[in-house]
């Protein structure tokens, strides 16, 4: 008796329509609004891409003593604004005429671009690979991350090391926010709280990374012989459970920290001082 789910006999069919799969006429059996999640993800990532691209190429309004935008720190070019006691490292001379943000953003961008969660997010949101659970993707074949350029995703662990260095610099920048506009210590403004929240989220996202978890406790045959690494591995694992939340929270916080500096530097807002 025919059930309507006999394997398809169509020649050349691939994916869910291949001869080895049940011949279900519908592309999927989900009745919920499954498209909301990938659409929302794509919209959120696209908004950040547009904003960060504008700010990276602007080369203006990124420093207002004592605050420096995380998009421009550390500042590695000679054309950087002078930041007293700030992260000014003139590695690139006068020949560099573009925005100094382009010299540093490659590292946090590379870390996030190759992050396991973000890979899932933009694969689904932009490439529909797959668009959602139990929803077939439109592509006829799947090669995974075995070919160029996706094979470069394997360098995520190396971007992790650079991300730690950048987070260290941003921690230093956060400490500098406890000065006033005359570089005197012992002061705190609203920007100090903005930077504090940002650096906490940046560190939480960075150490919740799968690469960090592997570095801390990976390749150990006997946890009992490495109690300190085992405990660290457990802590990182707890953070790793919230890696998606931390990925979005830190993405929003770093954009807000940059936007706060932009408002101050452009004269649109005055930083409220608590003491």
Round to whole Å and give the CA distance between 80 and 101: 9
pLDDT computed for residue 15 by the predictor:
59
Do 162 and 110 contact (CB within 8 A), yes or no?
yes
pLDDT computed for residue 247 by the predictor:
97
**CB-hemisphere CA count at 13 Å for 178?**
7
Residues lower than pLDDT 50 in the chain: 1
Pick from 18, 11, 27, 56: nearest CA to 131: 27
Residues forming beta bridges with residue 132, ordered by sequence position? 135
pTM above 0.85, yes or no: yes
């Amino acid at each position: 008796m025919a059930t309507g789910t006999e394997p398809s006999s169509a020649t050349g069919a691939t994916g869910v329509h291949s001869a080895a799969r049940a011949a279900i006429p519908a592309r999927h059996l989900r009745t919920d609004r499954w498209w909301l999640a990938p659409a929302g993800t794509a919209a959120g990532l696209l908004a950040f891409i547009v904003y960060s691209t504008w700010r990276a190429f602007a080369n203006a309004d990124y420093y207002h003593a004592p605050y420096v935008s995380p998009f421009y720190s550390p500042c590695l070019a000679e054309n950087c604004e002078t930041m007293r006691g700030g992260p000014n490292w003139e590695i690139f001379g006068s020949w560099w005429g573009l925005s100094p943000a382009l010299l540093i953003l490659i590292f946090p961008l590379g870390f996030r671009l190759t992050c396991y969660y973000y890979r899932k997010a933009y694969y689904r949101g932009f490439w529909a690979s797959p668009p959602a659970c139990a929803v077939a993707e439109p592509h006829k074949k799947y090669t995974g991350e075995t070919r160029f350029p996706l094979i470069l995703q394997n360098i995520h662990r190396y971007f992790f090391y650079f991300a730690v260095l950048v987070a260290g610099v941003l921690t230093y920048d956060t400490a500098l926010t406890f000065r006033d506009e005359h570089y005197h210590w012992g002061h705190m403004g609203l920007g100090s709280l903005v930077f504090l929240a940002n650096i906490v989220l940046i560190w939480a996202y960075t150490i919740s990374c799968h690469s960090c978890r592997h570095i801390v406790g990976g390749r150990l045959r006997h946890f009992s012989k490495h109690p300190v690494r085992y405990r660290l591995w457990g802590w990182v694992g707890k953070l790793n459970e919230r890696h998606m939340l931390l990925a979005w929270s830190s993405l929003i916080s770093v954009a807000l920290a940059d936007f706060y500096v932009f408002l101050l530097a452009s004269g649109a807002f005055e930083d409220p001082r608590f003491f």
